[in-house]
Amino acid sequence: MERTAVRGHAVAALTGARNPGSPVWRPRFDDGSFVRFMNQDGTAPADAPWGPMRLVYLQYGSDAVTFFDRHGFFRSPELLDAPRPPDVSPSMRWYPLVTMMQMAMDTSLSMSAPMGFGHVYAPSHYLAAWLEVTGIDDWPPADVERLGRYLDQRRAAELSKPGDQTVDG
């Protein structure tokens, strides 16, 4: 729990200091040479090549755990600002109290979303993040895709077993 709290604080600090105009769900921080955010659609574009240290945060816009905001009772969450994440319904609207209750319910049900949405992170997306962090760029794309499919299939099989709802991320 302590590690999660530290991670949450670091992500919140970076997101709060993101470049103007970059969305909360895929923030850009400085020139992108040190830290980048990615979701199931890839990494936020960077203005510079990676520096000597690399940090990648993987987060889905539909992950209510990641974007839960206790102030949502009285103000619209930034997640609903344009541009919206591709995995958040364009018909979702903010209503005082109601939206917060909906997000609280989504948080409690976050592990029941399909893999690649909510708080059920797909192993292939972790693979993409690790490739970014390690700088490995000489794997044939077909091999990366095949490994990603294999990892996703294994995770889907694990999730289909009763009682094996381990938390990802």
> Is position 51 within any domain?
yes
Cβ neighbors of 17 (< 8 A, separation 6 or more) are 29
Instruction: Show the tokens assigned to 122.
Output: 């797909």
> Is position 29 within any domain?
yes
> Is position 62 within any domain?
yes
> Is position 169 within any domain?
no
The answer to whether 65 and 110 have CB atoms below 8 angstroms apart is: yes
> Is position 113 within any domain?
yes
Q: What is the pLDDT of residue 110?
A: 75
What's the CA angle centered on 16, arms 135 and 81, to 5 degrees?
A: 100
> Is position 166 within any domain?
no
- What is the domain range of residue 107? 2-160
- Distance separating the N- and C-terminal Cα atoms of the chain: 12
> Is position 168 within any domain?
no
Distance (Å, whole) CA 101 – CA 95 = 10
pLDDT one-digit tens code per residue, 19-57: 999 999 999 999 999 999 999 888 878 899 999 999 999
How many independent structural domains does the chain possess? Answer: 1
Q: What is the pLDDT of residue 103?
A: 84
Model-level pTM? Answer: 0.80
pLDDT one-digit tens code per residue, 76-135: 989 899 999 988 889 989 888 888 888 888 888 777 888 888 889 999 999 999 998 998
